[in-house]
Amino acid sequence: MAPGMWIALLLWGQDYAELLKKGNDLLLRGEAAKALEVMRAGARETGDEVLRWRFRAMEASALISLGEREQAEEILTQVIAAGKQLGNQKVECNGWYGMGQLRRMEGEPEESIRMYQKCLQLKDGIGGRLNEAGIWNNIGIAYRTTGRLRAALDAYQKALRLYEAEKVNQGIAGMLNNIGNLYLKQGQVELAQQSFERGLAVGPATGLRGQLLSNLGRAQAMKENYAEARRLATQALQLREKSGDRNGVARTEVALGEMAGEMGRRREAIGHFERALAIFEETGNEADQPITRASLAQMQIGDDAARALLTAREAEQAAEAAQQPEALWKARNARGEALRALGRGAEAEAAFAEAVETVEELRRFSSGSEVERQSFFEDRLAPYRNAFAAAAERGDAPEALVRAERMKARVLGEVLEGSRARAQFSPEQRSEQKRLRAEISKWNQALQGEKNVERRKELAQRRRQAGLAYEAFRTRAYSAAREEEVMQARVGEVDARQAAGTGVILEYVVTRDKAWMLMGDRRGFEVVRLGVGTAELLRRAEAFREAVGNRDLAYVREAQALYRVLIGPAE
């Protein structure tokens, strides 16, 4: 068919309102170029002025999807002006909604919320409860981006109520999925599980069933119910394979790999990660490859450290190219562990130091809510522990102590920032903090939507500058001083006890597979590896807690066993 011929056939005898719907359907299916043709043809051919401007608004949406943001903004400005001139709220609302989408894509979530709210104010222009639900969903996404989780939850719940009123199962399931993910992010696993289960109960007809099953599996994994988590993830995998969702299949393989790793099934995990990578490469999905390669490298260390080292380096290169610091620190940490397994201790320690620095940089770029920032280090302490272990293994007890205390100070520093220290802020400081976090969030979002390599480098540099500006603010306000205060308090306690000649100072550090004790007296520091590994230490501690809880006299035996492990080396 000649270029443009299909448009001519589509226009022949066409109801233009129906044509507008067809163009929107093309856009929803990801066929933005075709949608653009339809919208331009409709705007050109219709004699209805209101419909013409609605076509133009949808033309702008297609341009946003194609990355032509400046052109889209120019059209949307015209649409808003035309809506006001015509006195037609529907046209004006279309313009504000498009502006909201544009601002969100440009990494300006606060501004996008303002645009969506302008649309909501035009009651006659929203076009029914379904459209209003869609707007509230987008507002929720924008709030989630800025870390305002309570506001995001309120927006999602408003959307949910509207979808329930219209009995639209797809919308109901989607909102319950979003709400569940929000609860997971906050660590409220039971509430998340309830949301996902409600979403599944809506009915099998919704296309979100695979996502809901996979997310419910994540919730079960967080509760350490790995058998149930695997069962749910396997169901999700089968559904996604049936629907032809190749990237969905790959992401479920990743989830299964993570679960297998948690269960100690290393080779099974490797198989899942390798299958996921093969699909990501097949579909050209470069965004998911760095983190998957890093996870694969971590699993390969126990089987083939040399191969793991190659995989970690590939993950590192991919993460650097994609500007993904989360994947980058994991890849560097895996490289360090592979080098350590190969007996290359100095290189391993250097890799751990690079991983720590990457986490520190990621922290500077973090613009989330107070809850998110306080839990920032919850799953990012592995390189700190490995750096400690490297110093401990070469017998450098003073350096090991400093690294152990720095690790604790980092975690406590975030908690202090969100509580006691924040209370000391002036209104000007709170305003400055909000502005700096919004700036980081802006560049984070801009990076997510940008595919051009050179443009990504430019955006990454701007994000780095925003992160440094926020770090300078933190340093001035409280953070560095608080962390140093925490660390110096502990080191000062050691010095005081040494000077007094009283007792032995004990400090315990547990890494992934080893447990250590730091001792100090007048003669200096000593670092000792305990006679049990991490898993055995945790097992004994749990046995002691269980015996005490059950009023079982066996607690005496368990207490003695723990004493020999934890205190015995210091006697």
Give the list of residues 6+ apart from residue 403 with CB closer than 8 angstroms, or none.
384, 387, 388, 391
Phi, psi angles (nearest 5°) of residue 256: -65, -35
CB-based contact 259:281 (threshold 8 Å): no
Q: What is the pLDDT at residue 304?
A: 93
Cα 97 to Cα 100, 118, 131, 243, 486: the distances in Å are 5, 8, 10, 31, 48
Of residues 544 and 348, more confidence is placed in: 348
What letter represents residue 435's amino acid?
R
Query: In 3D, which of 280, 289, 295 has the Cα closest to residue 246?
Result: 280
Q: How confident is the model at residue 409 (pLDDT cuts 50, 70, 90)?
A: low
Q: How confident is the model at residue 523 (pLDDT cuts 50, 70, 90)?
A: low
Instruction: List the structure tokens of 101.
Output: 């989408």
Q: How confident is the model at residue 451 (pLDDT cuts 50, 70, 90)?
A: low
Q: Is a pLDDT exceeding 50 seen at residue 389?
A: yes
Residue with tokens 């339809």: 38
Q: What is the pLDDT at residue 272?
A: 94
Q: Is a pLDDT exceeding 60 seen at residue 422?
A: no
Q: Is a pLDDT exceeding 60 seen at residue 550?
A: yes
Q: What is the pLDDT at residue 552?
A: 73
Please state, in angstroms and rounded to a whole number, the distance separating the CA atoms of residues 110 and 108: 6
Q: What is the pLDDT at residue 448?
A: 60
Other Cβ atoms closer than 10 A to 481: 15
71-85, 335-349, 372-386, 418-432: least confident range: 418-432
Cα 537 to Cα 302, 518, 527, 531, 558: the distances in Å are 21, 17, 18, 9, 11
Q: What is the pLDDT at residue 421?
A: 46
Q: Is a pLDDT exceeding 60 seen at residue 436?
A: yes
* Sign of the CA dihedral with 8 first, then 14, 19, and 20 last: positive
Mean pLDDT of 142-158: 86
Helix (H) or strand (E) holding 188: none
Q: Could you give the 3-state DSSP secondary structure of residue 503? A: coil
pTM equals 0.63
Of residues 473 and 492, more confidence is placed in: 473
Of residues 541 and 151, more confidence is placed in: 151
Q: Is a pLDDT exceeding 50 seen at residue 8?
A: no
Share of the chain above pLDDT 70, in %: 76
Phi, psi angles (nearest 5°) of residue 425: -70, 140
181-185, 380-384, 433-437: least confident range: 433-437
Query: In 3D, which of 7, 90, 99 has the Cα closest to residue 49?
Result: 90
Please state, in angstroms and rounded to a whole number, the distance separating the CA atoms of residues 209 and 206: 6
CB-based contact 359:380 (threshold 8 Å): yes
Q: Is a pLDDT exceeding 50 seen at residue 381?
A: yes
Mean pLDDT of 379-402: 82
Highest-scoring range by mean pLDDT, 6-20, 35-49, 456-470, 532-546:
35-49
Phi, psi angles (nearest 5°) of residue 108: -120, 70
Q: How confident is the model at residue 102 (pLDDT cuts 50, 70, 90)?
A: confident
Q: How confident is the model at residue 3 (pLDDT cuts 50, 70, 90)?
A: very low
Tell me which long-range contacts 270-273 makes (C-beta under 8 A, separation of at least 24). 270/296, 270/299, 270/300, 270/303, 273/299
Q: What is the pLDDT at residue 291?
A: 93
What letter represents residue 261's amino acid?
G
Query: In 3D, which of 344, 334, 184 has the Cα closest to residue 261?
Result: 334
Q: State how far Cα 536 lies from the chain centre.
A: 32
58-62, 238-242, 276-280, 542-546: least confident range: 542-546
Q: Is a pLDDT exceeding 90 seen at residue 335?
A: yes
Instruction: List the structure tokens of 444.
Output: 């984070």
Beta strands of 353-464 (E only): which ranges?
none
Q: Is a pLDDT exceeding 90 seen at residue 277?
A: yes
Q: Is a pLDDT exceeding 70 seen at residue 132?
A: yes
Mean pLDDT of 53-70: 85
Q: Is a pLDDT exceeding 60 seen at residue 414?
A: no
According to DSSP, residue 381 is labeled: -
Please state, in angstroms and rounded to a whole number, the distance separating the CA atoms of residues 329 and 354: 8
Q: Is a pLDDT exceeding 70 seen at residue 472?
A: no
Q: Could you give the 3-state DSSP secondary structure of residue 550? A: coil
Q: Could you give the 3-state DSSP secondary structure of residue 268? A: helix
Q: Is a pLDDT exceeding 50 seen at residue 63?
A: yes
Q: What is the pLDDT at residue 486?
A: 45
Query: In 3D, which of 34, 20, 29, 32 has the Cα closest to residue 68?
Result: 32
Give the list of residues 6+ apart from residue 402 with CB closer than 8 angstroms, or none.
487, 491
Cα 353 to Cα 267, 311, 566: the distances in Å are 29, 19, 29
Q: Could you give the 3-state DSSP secondary structure of residue 510? A: strand
Mean pLDDT of 227-243: 87
CB-based contact 252:290 (threshold 8 Å): no
Of residues 399 and 188, more confidence is placed in: 188
Q: How confident is the model at residue 7 (pLDDT cuts 50, 70, 90)?
A: very low
124-133, 283-292, 510-519: least confident range: 510-519
Report pLDDT digits (tens) over 242-259. 888 888 889 989 989 988
Q: What is the pLDDT at residue 503?
A: 45
37-46, 190-199, 359-368, 387-396: least confident range: 359-368
